[in-house]
Structure 1
Amino acid sequence: MKPVTVASIDPSSADGAAVAHYGDPAREQKILDTGAGLVDRSHRDVLAVPGADRLTWLHSLTTQHLTGLDPMSGSELLVLSPHGHVEHHAMLVDDGTATWLDLEPGAGAGLLTFLSRMIFMMRVEPADVTADRAVLSIVGPHTDEALRALGVTLAAPDVVPVPPAKFATGVVPPRPTARYAAAALPAFDGLVRRVEGGADLIVPRSAVPDLVAAAQLPLAGIWAYEALRVAARRPRFGFETDHKTLPAEVGWTAHAVHLEKGCYRGQETISRVHHLGRPPRKLVLLHLDGIATDELPAPHTEVVRDGRAVGFVGTAARHYELGQIALAVVRQNVNEDGGQLLVGPSTAAIDPL
């Protein structure tokens, strides 16, 4: 099926180059929610980091524990400012000779600049390979069946539970806090990484048509993918983040931060916030009434209570069952001390789950 060009996707947005839908966004959401579908996310940036020192080097610069990362496995990481604010988020997979990082569209250049400045005497050669490599995602509860059709069997994601505040030393094992099984795709010269809710494939752009044909999965657009991401409360860098976001505010502590690994930029803030047990803000799922307007709020629209801004909307979407929903980052005490929430002209309610 040919993609439908949808003018309402702002060409200047991060998803401006993505396919919005293939004719029926609600049906595509249901496919991803109840079966399995293939989403073209080839607008994401991809960096490659070959070199013998790549894992110890990335371990020293980021929030993740990577020295014990096995070949053909993946994880995710953050790069923080000196004050602990999130500057970069990346998914990664290592094939035994190179570490592949995929991140938000347009974010690759900034991360590459930072990494290039930190090479010193390390044996690493980071490079932007976005022009050559594409990211596609299999999404849905039938992901494992879809992978078997490609000749791959992968274990489910393995995530270490987040310890309570003031935990004892040694509670967090010396390994990536989120470990994603991976495998080679020799027929397509690519890699596949099993993640929560699906699997990500990194392949040469020239191999995409063959991969789509071999997968034999229905195609779904970015609207469907984003609606399910919002419903699952999964944050996205640049959408549910701003210049002062702390990892704990959006739930990245569980997947991208190793709480016993020290000596990286921003580590002191990570430790302090975790042991206090209450970050300044929190990620919530909003239900929008959709009465005053049928238009979804734009990213970073203010969430207002009693005439004052108490947060901002990250991503809003039309869910095929839940209606208008949005992820928002709001003050920690919102919903604890009452007051009606407004997002533009729409009344909003925080999902209690």
Structure 2
Amino acid sequence: MTYQSPLLSRPGAVEATGPDAGVAAHYGDPMREQRLLARGEALADLSHRGVVTVTGPDRLSWLNTLSSQLLLGLKPGESSEALLLTVQGRIEYDTRVIDDGETTWLIVEAFEAEGLAEWLNKMKFMLRVEIADVSAQWAVVGAAKAVAGFEERLVWQDPWPEVGAGGFAYTRIEEPQHPGRERTWFEYLVPAAELESAVDGKELAGSLAVEALRIAAWRPRFGTETDEKTIPHELDLMRTAVHMDKGCYKGQETIARVHNLGHPPRRLVFLQLDGSQHTLPAAGSEVRLGERKVGTVTSAALHFEMGPVALAVIKRSVDPETQLLVVDEDSHYDAAQEVIVAPDAGSVVGRPKGLLRGGPR
């Protein structure tokens, strides 16, 4: 059954498409909603998100052996991000992790939950863990600031763009200048039956607003910026989702080899688009250098301050100073790129200082 949020009954609600189908794209005024959301004066309906729980005394040690993140010392209420990878180091699942002392909660994209729960059940062996897909029983509500009245609710706070313990930044900017520092983000777990009452009397913002703020913060999204070949290095996820000093896990050899000795083949880039078209390119539009395709737009939005912006994944070798062109059917958009993942990212062995590294946990 296709999910439909009860908040779609709100006046002016227009349902989103694509990965956000089932919740509102907007409630009649996307730009106003985006401003309110950025100021922490509106909530976002993310009730289409998947939620998977892991209970049992072995839950954190077990998840630690499976994932890219160090979870052994995760304290109740502490937020983390963890990837589950293939043997080749490609991202299979991206999970937002929060533990309440008895249960580990994994917030994921809608399409991830069922497969993630099945995969985890296959991996439990004789360990004392129980896995459940509780997406139907729990909803997620997003906000840019802590929400008054939600103090008792379990909340995941996005670690982006902090360079976590054991992590590395693949940017070349001074970290205080990272645009992600202008965005804080919280995702609250709310019983699905209480969703309407929980947001009663509060301003709502649709997924268009959520996406615009995410793109402006250079924050990659699983299933949007990723494909079946994506490795964490390409999206700067080494800063929040990978701990380079933890023990063995599936995909670790590739993670270490690319980080220490090689370069990721592609890199995430932020694009400032020409606004004269008064439209936005669709995800999947070609990014060209001259007549040559060098990448693909992964997401685009109209930001309330910057205008049309996008994220794209392009070939590592593309000159960061070069003007690019985005082609979407009959529309063409001049695109100025801002480097997210540096072309020389990786190969830290032998560098005097390497990349910006997170401290110990």
For 2:335, the equivalent position in structure 1 comes to 348
User: Pairwise mapping of residues 65-80 of structure 1 onto structure 2 (< 5 A)?
Assistant: 65-80=70-85
Q: How much does 1:79 deviate? A: 0.6
For 1:160, the equivalent position in structure 2 comes to 164
Q: 2:299 aligned with 1:315, yes or no?
A: yes
For 2:12, the equivalent position in structure 1 comes to 4
Q: TM-score, normalised by structure 1?
A: 0.82
Q: 2:269 aligned with 1:284, yes or no?
A: yes
Q: How much does 1:211 deviate? A: 1.5
**Distance in 2 between residues matched to 1:326 and 1:155, nearest whole Å:** 26
Contact 2:156/2:188, CA 8 A, preserved across alignment: no
Q: Which moved more, 1:305-314 or 1:245-254?
A: 305-314
Aligned residue among 21, 25, 36 for 1:16: 21
Contact 2:43/2:203, CA 8 A, preserved across alignment: yes
Q: 2:199 aligned with 1:199, yes or no?
A: no
User: Pairwise mapping of residues 90-239 of structure 1 onto structure 2 (< 5 A)?
Assistant: 90-139=95-144, 143-144=145-146, 146-147=147-148, 149-151=149-151, 159-160=163-164, 162-163=167-168, 197-213=184-200, 217-239=202-224
For 1:183, the equivalent position in structure 2 comes to none
Which runs of 5 or more residues in structure 2 are unaligned?
1-8, 171-182, 341-361
Q: CA RMSD in A?
A: 2.4
Q: 2:237 aligned with 1:252, yes or no?
A: yes
Q: How much does 1:284 deviate? A: 1.1
Aligned residue among 33, 36, 44 for 2:41: 36
Cα deviations across residues 101-157 of structure 1 (Å, max 9, x unaligned)? 111111111211211111110111111111110000112xxx24x34x444699985
Cα deviations across residues 176-225 of structure 1 (Å, max 9, x unaligned)? xxxxxxxxxxxxxxxxxxxx613211111011122213xx5421111111
**Distance in 2 between residues matched to 1:119 and 1:305, nearest whole Å:** 48
Q: How much does 1:35 deviate? A: 3.6
Which runs of 5 or more residues in structure 1 are unaligned?
166-195
For 2:50, the equivalent position in structure 1 comes to 45
Q: 1:257 to 1:72 in 2, by over 3 A?
A: same
Q: 1:339 to 1:296 in 2, by over 3 A?
A: closer
Q: 1:252 to 1:288 in 2, by over 3 A?
A: same
Say which SS state the counterpart of residue 351 (structure 1) adopts.
strand
Say which SS state the counterpart of residue 195 (structure 2) adopts.
helix
Contact 2:49/2:109, CA 8 A, preserved across alignment: yes
**Distance in 1 between residues matched to 2:86 and 2:255, nearest whole Å:** 11
**Distance in 1 between residues matched to 2:121 and 2:234, nearest whole Å:** 29
Q: 1:201 to 1:155 in 2, by over 3 A?
A: closer
Contact 1:311/1:328, CA 8 A, preserved across alignment: yes
User: What one-letter code is carried by the residue in structure 2 that aligns with 1:80?
Assistant: L
User: What one-letter code is carried by the residue in structure 1 that aligns with 2:106?
Assistant: L
Contact 2:320/2:337, CA 8 A, preserved across alignment: no
**Distance in 1 between residues matched to 2:303 and 2:169, nearest whole Å:** 34
For 1:173, the equivalent position in structure 2 comes to none
Cα deviations across residues 24-65 of structure 1 (Å, max 9, x unaligned)? 110111112234321010001111111111111100001011
Contact 2:82/2:241, CA 8 A, preserved across alignment: yes
Contact 1:335/1:350, CA 8 A, preserved across alignment: no
Cα deviations across residues 55-107 of structure 1 (Å, max 9, x unaligned)? 11100001011111112222111011100011110101111111111111111
Contact 2:281/2:327, CA 8 A, preserved across alignment: yes
Contact 2:33/2:209, CA 8 A, preserved across alignment: yes
Contact 1:3/1:21, CA 8 A, preserved across alignment: no
User: What one-letter code is carried by the residue in structure 2 that aligns with 1:307?
Assistant: E
Q: 2:311 aligned with 1:324, yes or no?
A: no
User: What one-letter code is carried by the residue in structure 2 that aligns with 1:99?
Assistant: T
**Distance in 1 between residues matched to 2:239 and 2:185, nearest whole Å:** 18
Q: What is the number of equivalent residue pairs in this alignment?
A: 312
For 1:184, the equivalent position in structure 2 comes to none
**Distance in 2 between residues matched to 1:199 and 1:160, nearest whole Å:** 17
**Distance in 2 between residues matched to 1:28 and 1:137, nearest whole Å:** 13
Q: TM-score, normalised by structure 2?
A: 0.80
Structure 1 stretches of 4+ with a deviation exceeding 6 A read 153-156
Q: 1:155 to 1:329 in 2, by over 3 A?
A: closer
- Residue identity over aligned pairs, in percent, reads 44
User: What one-letter code is carried by the residue in structure 2 that aligns with 1:321?
Assistant: E
Q: How much does 1:277 deviate? A: 6.3
User: What one-letter code is carried by the residue in structure 2 that aligns with 1:264?
Assistant: Y
